[in-house]
Structure 1
Amino acid sequence: MSKIAIACIVSLMLSVVWIFPATANEDIVQSEELIQQLKKQPQTRKTRGFVISGAETGPAPQQAAPPSATIYVYFISGTVDFADEQSRQQLDELGRALTSKALTGARFEISGHTDSVGSDEYNMNLSRRRAETVNAYLEENFGYSTTAVEGYGETQPIATNDTSEGRARNRRVVITRLD
């Protein structure tokens, strides 16, 4: 085999390695589903007109977690560049959801998360830059922007960082309702 043929095969193999992880595991979450996940659910706690002072109530009731949605936006390793068209499609669905009538006036935080590969400082910076990239995409394409953009690096894993599948799940963007 010639050197050129070998170089082409190696190049093709490298392309598959870089592209495959970016598109393998997650389906695109549709805007309707995102709207349902991000809508504020009505309070179900009812009272019969009694007012109880703070000293008599005992421990404070557990606050329900704010509505949030996790999406997977894939970036080229170590960069803020989108890795594939699926990531743009996912952001388009998110943009449609955030600008829908159902979520008009709602405030959201866009947070970036990474796996544990790299230093803590590097991952914190990278996760914030990626969240800012998502916010910029939404502003440019949908006129939606939030001032609440955070990077959490590897501090909030949702899966183990001991496997490639777990690391892939930890590299994500979370949209959390603030109001």
Structure 2
Amino acid sequence: MTRTHRLTATAAIALTAALSMTASLAIAGDNNVSANQIVNALQPKPLTRSLSGAPQIDPAVKAKEMSFVATLQNRKTRSLSTGEREEIAEIASTKPKIDLDIQFDYNSAEISKASLPSVQELGKALSNASLRGSTFVLAGHTDAVGGEAFNQDLSERRADTIKRYLTDKYGINNGTDLVTVGYGKSKPKDPNAPMDPVNRRVEVVNMDTKTASK
């Protein structure tokens, strides 16, 4: 091999190593979400206004949503029917939300030590004055490994664990401010790879039960 070829090969190896390191840093950064990032993601979107200055929102739709959310408060996760879970998902699809990579011990609802910082940042975010007045949904999701009933139960228990942690450590009102729901493996983040760990997550949704036009 000539000297030029050796230099070219060395440069290629160095470039590959640099790209691998950059990818690793990006993945690590994604897992270390900050309270400010969560607050920004969960901020209610400002209402658009018509030429007359009136908010373009259907008051009847808003009232129906708020009425439904009120029926969920002080409810236990396992009391939710399939229809109620789907209605939560439908409302949540239009609301501010964030997916958090919160991992648990294997086949357990115990939060892993590596994920505690993310849960703590969530606690700080939901304690922020700018988010007070809304009800938040904590939605648990699993990957597709295992049976449907097992994953449904596991996702509910994991969502309940996050709720208890936020209540115990940050004093967040678990009766009116936090609603938990489990979706098991039914709503993967990556439908093309249902068994991928990326599907194991906790989705936090601001159900926007306060006036967003302030």
Equivalent position of 1:168 in the other structure: 197
Equivalent position of 2:96 in the other structure: 67
TM-score under structure 1 length normalisation: 0.72
Whether 2:126 is the aligned partner of 1:98: answer yes
Where structure 1 has 5 or more consecutive residues not aligned to the other structure, the ranges are: 1-22, 55-62
Which residue, 132, 149, 155 being the options, matches 1:127? 155
Question: Tell me, what secondary structure is at the counterpart of 2:197?
Answer: helix
Which residue, 43, 50, 74 being the options, matches 2:47? 43
Contact 1:116 1:161 in 2 (8 A): no
- CA offset at residue 43 of structure 1? 1.2
- CA offset at residue 104 of structure 1? 1.2
Cα RMSD, aligned residues only: 2.5
Question: Tell me, what secondary structure is at the counterpart of 1:158?
Answer: coil
Contact 1:110 1:150 in 2 (8 A): yes
TM-score under structure 2 length normalisation: 0.61
Which residue, 175, 179, 186 being the options, matches 1:148? 179
Contact 2:144 2:194 in 1 (8 A): no
Contact 1:31 1:97 in 2 (8 A): yes
Distance verdict in 2 for CA 1:117–1:43, change over 3 Å:
same
Can you list the C-alpha shifts for 1:53-92, whole angstroms capped at 9, x where unaligned?
x9xxxxxxxx9710111111111111011222x3110011
Distance verdict in 2 for CA 1:162–1:46, change over 3 Å:
same
2:52 alignment partner AA: R
Where structure 2 has 5 or more consecutive residues not aligned to the other structure, the ranges are: 1-26, 59-90, 210-214
Contact 2:141 2:200 in 1 (8 A): yes
Structure 1 CA distance, aligned partners of 2:194 and 2:96? 28
